[in-house]
Structure 1
């Protein structure tokens, strides 16, 4: 999975967690009674909490089992799936790592749906499955050789490292996703699909792909002296899109820098000195720094290989400051960011700056080159310096060493894009939308809603595709209009001004 997709995936997960459909009022609809009885593996009454999810997303409820392991609740007539989070030791502390869907399943897709009819009663009984361990081993995906110092963890179960194998305790039997990697960083971490067998600790053997490495030396461009504390990451060649998740390393006092955990492929190297350094950030070019990722040197690495890159020659930093205003009103834009990319940063390495209450910003860590800047605000279209939608058309801002450059753009409002979001049953749903330039694939707008209707602003005139991610207990993704793949996505032309209405019907395509 690329860094850009992981970045979006990270953003989407946070939004969707906050955007579950609100529980509809049972009194406003035809209702039925759902009675649930839950027992522990030994047959005694279970404690914990219960999620009720209507399969058409019309209702969700969060309830607690009583001392007898039961609950009764009136709910709107619909088909329901039931998830139980047991509390084995303290009724007020459910164990999220042992959630199970009825009957004894680990995933929403495998759970049984229970029909609650208007005026009727539906009884559901569930015995919790016995928590079981799994033993994990890893091997080289290319050679098949066993690996040592293997590390693994499951969601809400933490993790550890051990020699040839390790055991993760107390998991729900059935399909599970675990994160597996090696302590030395010589293999790419992977999310492995394994099966936990009740009462059987495994083992599960997971293939790990050897990681690539990039080594270089960071020096002063004028003197050749080594520079420590300069941090580097990589961006996929051809995108210029800095990651939100990915490899990161910093140079030591001798200027040596080794970047581990790189996927095989073609990359551009981005370096930013930290800690109040006098040096400026750069895309690493063929002979020196640049602010344009298209002009950066391409590094091609193979799985398990190490590329020795030429020295990174750092120049002294300059500053960009300015006041951002609205072209429509002339007033300052008082919230948002100015960035080099769509993501805000990677761990402790950042490439954006916030607008303050007066609409001003300051970036004082850029090298003396020409930099395209991305402006992201609440009430204006996403746009690059020069008021354009895509990076290649941006008007770069020139930075000079030890000097300050003023750039104060008047942002375009853009075209208002709005519409309804519905599931296959025609009910309103919440989703994250991303608008992509149809020619380049770049993100040119994004939004999310919580009531089945969205609004955002996109620069026109341009042709876009619209991607969506939707879910809660299960995550789905697709493209307008009703397809799972971007290659089949329907293209939409955003006019230069006015309002564009695009109603989107979401389909249950599993999110990748």
Structure 2
């Protein structure tokens, strides 16, 4: 089962569910039952708690609901055989999900079988309360205003409405929060408590279990902003979008449009300092004549005053792009440069391009690799750009049932460069047809190893070897490719599938852990784990070929570990799978050793940052740290060599590197690009140019 994080809108919708809103759920017709008892965080019965059964795959589709009795018990019947999410909410208890989760993306799967009873007992998490009063600039209560309560990631999972006195109250789990509301009628502009225009400058309010945290605010006064937009020759620019955002941040009132005379207006804005952006066709810029947000001039809106700005669009030129086959020299007639396409003419004219050095991305239909290049644009001139696109390499093969030799359809192949393997989210487009044929295209020339994933789970996944399959990447056949050429790979011979099940625990306590299990690692925030453990730490991975497979075990705050406690895929001996059978692979996770350091830059780090580390031998992710400020910390297994990458925002610009420099091993020495993790842990700084 593969799932992604719930959106803020979904979380709020579930939180705000009422009897009126859920009066007609999609009732199942089965005879399965979920029953249990809900207790407060102190163990006493929790009466009148709203218990809801939600569809596990669709997230938020209500199936059935009830409320708890005086002793905290409840019963929900009429359920089909299926997997569900069970949520609880009500009173001074925010929505939570079995088992003890406050985020729906982490909810445990509850399986129900028709004719049977599934018991789901739950103790409500300890909560605190956020409360406060909102008043207008004149001191009057702000009535019936919804207050969004967001966590540190900006996810608005909780909220409350102000009453006739402007008071609000919301129960939330212990944590750090920011609050916002929309004080101007018919405007989307948010004010963040206390008196801020953006989430980046908003206050952070710490809530402890059993305690109240107060967050009062006064609505900022209101001014207005207007102006006129012209071309560089003084003629008006009509139908251009104008955005006003808090200075150097985001979260403004939205956009407006210039009229036939180039005039625009924001009649109501909260007082403060703004950045104004103009978008006219393919052109965009910031007041006053800046092409980057960090170079924009400040625009101050004062109470009761109309601030007026005038802006002239920067001069532009054009780019004429022609594309050719880099090997044959033949003209490519059907291609695109940025948002402009040739439509079979063999050339693209990119108009309204700002003067200066421009980056142009070019891609073509057919088997060509994309290319990025640059060109200098001059005012009122057309620059000619010739781009030579390299034809992609191709790999073709046939997929068969190994036992019978029969062609197999719907077996999907992924081509990986050696030691560059990442978990895919879902199936790709390179799947075998009814004759078992499949061709992979648009590959950069080089060596590849093929991974096969049948959609029919009766068959097992495999690394494709010269005469069958394997669970170890290193045993796969190496397919050598050449640009513009087609290489025939060994036939993919698919075996029947088996499974691996196991239990993940804390090595120190023996307690079950919430963990993700996967064949490969994945880019944090993308892809999805193979599966997750249930409330008892148990998991099962199906659809594996009958080979020896290493599995990756990961849990927040613990060191990523492979089967048998190994530091990497290559170091793990793996678990032998047998077709039609279930093998066992339990694992106890440790916190490993601490790897920490600072990000060293000439600029200022803004907002969040991400440091990821990779095992240099396998290329696998082995740890990721999301942080604010400039200090990161990771938990890793020792005795491995790692390299770093980073995604940061420095002085308003997003910067990244997949080959991060590390502080020298000795003062004054050269920077490092990889480092070994010793048994005692490691402190190393990441250097940003």
TM range (shorter): 0.7 to 0.9
Match runs of 1:350-389 below 5 Å: 352-389=530-567
> Hey, what does 2:86 align to over in structure 1?
none
Q: How much does 1:417 deviate?
A: 2.8
Distance in structure 1 (CA, Å) of the matches to 2:457 and 2:673: 48
- TM-aligned CA distance change 1:125 to 1:438, over 3 Å: farther
SS of 2:397's equivalent?
Answer: strand
- The 1:464–1:217 alpha-carbon spacing in structure 2 relative to 1, beyond 3 Å, is closer
| SS of residue matched to 1:294 | helix
Q: Equivalent residue of 2:405, what SS?
A: coil
Distance 1:245 1:126 in 2: 47
Q: Post-superposition shift, 1:410?
A: 1.3
Change (3 A) 1:227 1:381: same
Q: 2:363 & 2:199 partners in 1: Cα distance?
A: 36
Question: Is this contact kept in 2: 1:279–1:317, CA < 8 A?
Answer: yes
Q: CA deviation at 1:217?
A: 0.7
Match of 1:459 among 637, 644, 664: 637
| Residue 3 of structure 1: aligned partner | none
**Aligned match of 1:4:** none
The answer to whether residue 432 in structure 2 is matched with residue 251 in structure 1 is yes
SS in structure 1 at match of 2:638: coil
SS in 2 for 1:467: strand
Is residue 292–residue 372 contact of structure 1 (8 Å, CA) maintained in 2? yes
Question: 1:246, 1:134 → 2: CA distance?
Answer: 38
Matched, 1:395 2:585: no
Q: Deviations over 1:439-487 (max 9, x none)?
A: 666532222213433332111144444432322534243322289xxx9
Match of 2:466 in 1: 286
Return the alpha-carbon distance in structure 1 between the equivalents of residues 523 and 374 of structure 2: 28
Equivalent residue in structure 2 for 1:237, among 406, 418, 425: 418
Residues 83/482 of structure 1: CA separation in 2 closer, same or farther (3 Å cut): farther
- Per-residue CA deviation, residues 376-428 of structure 1 (Å, 9 max, x unaligned), is 32121122112222221113111111211222211122113334445425767
Change (3 A) 1:491 1:223: closer
The answer to whether 1:496 aligns with 2:686 is no
Residues 356 and 188 of structure 1: CA distance in aligned 2, closer, same or farther (over 3 Å): farther
Q: Is the 8 Å Cα contact of residues 423 and 429 (structure 1) preserved in structure 2?
A: no
Structure of greater Rg: 2
Cα distance in structure 2, aligned partners of 1:454 and 1:238: 26
Distance 1:182 1:359, change over 3 A: same
What does residue 333 of structure 2 align with? Answer: 148
Q: Which runs of 5+ in 1 are unaligned?
A: 1-16, 26-34, 54-58, 76-81, 89-94, 117-122
Instruction: Tell me if the contact between 1:345 and 1:351 (Cα under 8 Å) persists in the aligned partners.
Output: no
Partner of 1:272, secondary structure, is strand
Which SS does the other structure have where 1:252 is aligned?
coil
The answer to whether the aligner puts 1:40 opposite 2:222 as a matched pair is no
**Equivalent residue pairs, number:** 445
Question: Taking structure 1 as the reference length, what is the TM-score of the superposition?
Answer: 0.73
2: CA distance, partners of 1:298 / 1:113: 52
Q: Which residue of 1 aligns with 2:243?
A: 49
RMSD value, Cα: 4.2
- Partner secondary structure for residue 99 of structure 1: strand
Q: Secondary structure at the match of 2:570?
A: helix
Q: Is the partner of 1:402 in helix, strand or coil? A: coil
Structure 1 position 73, deviation (Å)? 7.7
Q: Secondary structure at the match of 1:386?
A: helix
Please state if 1:450 is matched with 2:640: no
| Structure 2 residue aligned with 1:260 | 441
2-structure distance, mates of 1:340, 1:427? 32
Equivalent residue of 1:233, what SS?
strand
Q: Larger relative CO (CA 8 A, sep 6+): 1 or 2? A: 1
Please name the residue that 2:11 is paired with: none
Aligned positions of 1:89-488 closer than 5 A = 98-100=283-285, 104=289, 106=291, 126-129=311-314, 134-154=319-339, 161-167=343-349, 172-184=354-366, 186-195=367-376, 203-241=384-422, 248-274=429-455, 276-343=456-523, 352-421=530-599, 423-424=601-602, 430-437=608-615, 442-471=620-649, 473-477=653-657, 478-481=660-663, 488=671
Give me the whole-angstrom Cα distance separating, in 2, the residues matched to 1:83 and 1:199: 28
CA distance in 2, matches of 1:269, 1:346: 21
